[in-house]
Homo-oligomer: A and B are copies of this chain.
Amino acid sequence: MRPLFRDAPWAPLSYDPLADRPREDCAVFGILGTADAAAHTALGLHALQHRGQEATGIVAHDGDRFIAHRDQGHVGDVFSSPRVMDRLVGDAAIGHNRYSTTGESNPRNVQPLFAELNLGGVAIAHNGNLTNAATLRQDLIRQGAIFQSTTDTEVILHLMARGSGRMVDRLVEALTEVVGAYSLVLLTRQKLVGVRDPHGVRPLVLGRLGDAHILASESCAFDIIGAELVRDVEPGEMVVITREGIESFRPFRPVAPRPCLFEYVYFARPDSIMAGKSVHEVRKAIGRELAAEAPADADIVVPVPDSGVPAALGYAEGAGLPFDLGIIRNHYVGRTFIEPTNEIRHLGVRLKHNANRAVLAGKRVVLIDDSIVRGTTSLKIVKMVRDAGASEVHMRIASPPIRYPCFYGIDTPTRAELLASRMGVEGMASYIDADSLAFVSLDGLYRALGEPGRDPANPRYLDHYFTGEYPIPLVDEEGGTRARQLTLLREAG
């Protein structure tokens, strides 16, 4: 996932390697029932590129065999070759985008993973993070399993391989053993399966294009191919799609759903509809809440692009202040950067953002961003806005202070690195050198989502980053088994 990495977009050399964990936000996509299933999948993955830019893969089934292509890079690059696409034939396919967490990533980790079971082949793509994967992995290795990747996802395949009964039964059986967050798509010779963990942490939506059924992390993946959103796959639901139709199951013991708040705050594309809500409209509502909770005596509302834009529109509307683009984003910032020499670094190089001086000079500015993680980005942006002549900078954040790390699929730094876990709001304001700083309240955030506020007895969303309450057990963290297991093989080069 991205917001925490966003802290240091132009200082790759100061990027903290300790933050590189194998947990990531990702995208999944699956389709069954149309010719060119792989091409549809590639387009869907392209629309979901924001959920993972490091690597991407597709496994298609041509009625006889599974065909895979997986590589590092953007969807548009990995799936642009006719030679590749021509071989990915068939009316069923699943795909995956993976977020970049480390520089030396193992190509064997690129999803979808595939395994040949005695019942036939199965491919799997996963968004989320299992909290007992290392523990299960240790057990499985003890029983003689050989892992081909270091992903938590592979645990599910091994549990299925050892199971009995049919594919779908084995999947349910395997999932009763895992703990954590998952939205999965699986492809077998006959079926496309989508399943979302009982808490519904990560999103998964169901769509339709003619006779074809589609699964995707977000509805924007339907728009790109002209498909329609049918509904969300519900928390704890498993949908099984065959060439004959679609069935829904509820194989797990029901728990209160807890979808992740950060999908609304930052991850999801604004044009996606999640749980019936427009992400863009939720963000605008957060901005309005923020304007009500934390008004500022100012001349103008300016977003940190691009994720701050909807909240800034809402804040401006709520506050009755003009909205303007005071910071311009350079769209050509890619995967590589000009290597900063020491002479260059202290120039405060602005590879990604630039202040729009004409908008800011002499103005009292309300600056809207979606979140603060380490605070280093905010520090630089406030300085840039001041250097452009702003007379005052009032920072407003469209999420509460992030004080606790995530273990359910978001790649956060350790607690010690989270600015909000080290100091209060006033200290933070001083650290980032803002004239004032305010965060939307957790209740305000819930209100923007149509709730009356956060019900402590029954919170409706996953909000541990703000509260420290982890509703899903952190099995591996408590056992401390993870680190040792995953470092046995390193790929050089």
* Chain A contact residues, CB within 8 Å of chain B: 35-36, 39-40, 42-43, 46-47, 49-50, 53, 59, 65-71, 74-77, 79-85, 87-88, 107-108, 114-118, 120-121, 138, 141-148, 154, 157-158, 161-163, 220, 223-226, 269-271, 273, 278, 280-281, 306, 309-310, 313, 317, 322-325, 328, 330-334, 336-341, 343-344, 347-351, 354-359, 485, 487-493
Contacts and interface: CB of A to CB of B under 8 A. Distances in A.
Nearest to A313: B324
Contact of A331 (B42, B331, B351): B331
A273 to B, nearest CB: 7
Contact of A351 (B69, B224, B343, B490): B224
Nearest to A359: B280
B74 A332 contact: yes
Contact of A66 (B118, B147, B355, B488): B488
Which of A270, A273, A317 is packed against the most chain B CB atoms within 10 Å?
A270
Given A47-B330, A145-B146, A347-B226, A358 B281 contact: yes
A280 B108 contact: no
Contact of A358 (B154, B278, B334): B278
A347 B87 contact: no
A87 B487 contact: no
Nearest to A141: B118
B121 A141 contact: no
Contact of A68 (B118, B322, B358, B491): B491
Contacts of A348: 226
Contacts of A117: 141, 144, 146
